[in-house]
Amino acid sequence: MVGAYAGMILVMLAFGLETRGVVSSRSFRYLAAMATGQILLGIRAYDTGEWPFAVLSAVWAVIAIVAVVKPQTQS
């Protein structure tokens, strides 16, 4: 349960800071917080059988991880 709350805080904090222009949605800090938060929320969703939310969390986490591992180059 603590992990789910930590995940929720990470996701909300990252999104809040991004909407205020404090961090970029492409920054490592933002992406790492989103990936970690979604993984923690996804674990909780999986454990409680909330499959749609578990899948959504997994997809968001993969998108964030891919963005960290293979950043988009500007043309």
Can you spell out the DSSP letters for 11-44?
HHHHHHHHHTTSS-TTSHHHHHHHHHHHHHHHHH
Structural domain contains residue 58: yes
Residue 63 predicted with pLDDT over 80: yes
Structural domain contains residue 14: yes
Structural domain contains residue 65: yes
Per-residue pLDDT reduced to its tens digit, 22-44: 999 999 999 999 999 999 999 99
What is the tally of structural domains in the chain?
1
Structural domain contains residue 74: no
Structural domain contains residue 40: yes
Structural domain contains residue 34: yes
Residue in the block written with tokens 């959504």 = 56
Residue 75 predicted with pLDDT over 90: no
Structure token pair of residue 75: 């043309």
pTM of this structure: 0.86
Structural domain contains residue 18: yes
Q: Which domain holds residue 16?
A: 2-69
Residue 20 predicted with pLDDT over 70: yes
Structural domain contains residue 75: no
